[in-house]
Structure 1
Amino acid sequence: MPRRADPALRSLLVERAARMLAAREPVTLRALVEGTGASTMAVYTHFGGMPGLWSAVRQEGFTRLAARLAAVPRTGDPVHDVAAHGVAYARNALEAPELYRAMFDARADLADAEAADATFQRLVDAVARARDEGRLDPGTDPLALATRSWAAGHGLVSLVVQGVLPAAVLAPQASATTVALLTAAGDDPDRCRASVERAWAAG
């Protein structure tokens, strides 16, 4: 009789696979379940095989990011809220660096690509609100500006997660980059700096 899926074991295997991947350890069925009390069949029970496991690892990264972004409160300052999404993104990466690395490994398909895309859409929506409330130029393209902001932030966070840069540089460098992008899009420099730095100080 086939065993039923166990959510706790599934989560354990996902996180273990992410750690092994980050540590550049060979991820075999036997190595993955070693010490878990599970058999190699658990990978088939929960994921249908190794391709399904890697898909689940990527999806888990985006699931956690979505939860982190959903917890960002809406304030009366839309530029603060744009920056707060960057803070949440960085915190998610620093708290689960193995999953952060894995979630951008496009060799594995995502089970729910739309859910992953929705995490980026939150930033697009935050930029659109800043434009609509008069902090940015009326002609600002939220998608283009959010893409530039995410690309810069992702690059910085990745360097910190990989140990190339110390974590101490993250807040000041991310703040400076965000201020530069948003002031170029029309926000007042002093007001923008205050909004962005307040978000990073809180985060």
Structure 2
Amino acid sequence: MARTKDPAVRARLLDRAAHMLRTRQPVTLRALVAGTGVSTMAVYTYFGSMDGLWSAVRQEGFSRLAAKLDEVPSSADPADPADPADPVRDLTALGAAYVVNALENPDLYRVMFDAGFALEDAGAADETLHRLVRAVERAKEAGRFRADVDPAELALQSWAIGHGLASLVVTGPLPRQALDHAVPMLTAQFVGAGDAPDRCRRSVERGWEAVPTAASAVGG
């Protein structure tokens, strides 16, 4: 009878592989399982091969990002009438969640954008960007952005701001205090897309604060 696979073991191997790649350690089967409490056969049991492991490492980065984005509350159907729907706040909160995911999973974050490793499910990775696209579409429908704004283009620009700041902080050149720049940068971007400056600033600030660890990451 086949043994049930343990998700915790799989996650442990993925985290260790990502760490070894980031720190440029020679990755061998024995080195990979050292200290994990499992045998070298576990790599084949959980991933089929070393190539399967690398694909899984990259995919895990996007899986954790998707899970973090899923945690972001949407104001599309507010339960409190005094707190109306605010798609610009929602869009900002998704960006904040992106940054938080990078800070919480620095090793996987560096590997997830390495195209040298194939993805197990490219569609699942694309879905993380589509979440931003749908948020931009809601903002257009609410009249916050101009009718001529391309949702995919604005979503990609927003992603670029979050990715740029997160990458510079995760890789070390900039301190976490640099994340403070996200609010004025996103505000300028959304105002350029047609939002009213004062209203936009309030929405962006609220969106950034909607993901608690994003606002506190600067001092973390």
- How do 1:148-159 residues align onto structure 2 when only pairs under 5 Å count? 148-159=157-168
| Aligned-pair identity (%) | 61
The equivalent of 1:87 in structure 2 is 96
- Give yes or no for the alignment of 1:198 onto 2:206: yes
- How do 1:176-191 residues align onto structure 2 when only pairs under 5 Å count? 176-191=184-199
CA RMSD of aligned residues (A): 1.4
- Give yes or no for the alignment of 1:175 onto 2:202: no
Once the two structures are superposed, residues 104-154 of structure 1 have per-residue CA deviations (whole angstroms, 9 ceiling, x without a partner) of: 111111111111110110000001100111000011110011111111221
Q: TM-score, normalised by structure 1?
A: 0.95
Q: Report the secondary structure of 2:38's partner residue.
A: coil
- 8 Å CA contact retained: 2:183, 2:208: yes
Cα distance, 1:37 vs. partner? 2.5
The correspondence for 1:147, drawn from 130, 144, 156, is 156
The correspondence for 2:108, drawn from 93, 99, 105, is 99
Once the two structures are superposed, residues 64-91 of structure 1 have per-residue CA deviations (whole angstroms, 9 ceiling, x without a partner) of: 1111111111111111011000000001
Distance 2:168 2:148 in 1: 33
The equivalent of 2:137 in structure 1 is 128
Cα distance, 1:7 vs. partner? 2.4
Count of residue correspondences = 202
Distance 1:155 1:166 in 2: 13
Distance 1:27 1:158 in 2: 24
- 8 Å CA contact retained: 2:165, 2:178: no
The equivalent of 2:147 in structure 1 is 138
The residue type equivalent to 2:86 in the other structure is D
Cα distance, 1:3 vs. partner? 5.9
Distance 1:6 1:115 in 2: 23
The equivalent of 1:58 in structure 2 is 58
The residue type equivalent to 2:204 in the other structure is V
Distance 1:37 1:90 in 2: 32
Once the two structures are superposed, residues 24-58 of structure 1 have per-residue CA deviations (whole angstroms, 9 ceiling, x without a partner) of: 21111110011222221211111111111111111
Cα distance, 1:6 vs. partner? 3.0
Q: Report the secondary structure of 2:156's partner residue.
A: helix
Q: TM-score, normalised by structure 2?
A: 0.88
Cα distance, 1:4 vs. partner? 5.4
Q: Which runs of 5+ in 2 are unaligned?
A: 76-84, 212-220
Distance 2:70 2:164 in 1: 22
Cα distance, 1:2 vs. partner? 7.3
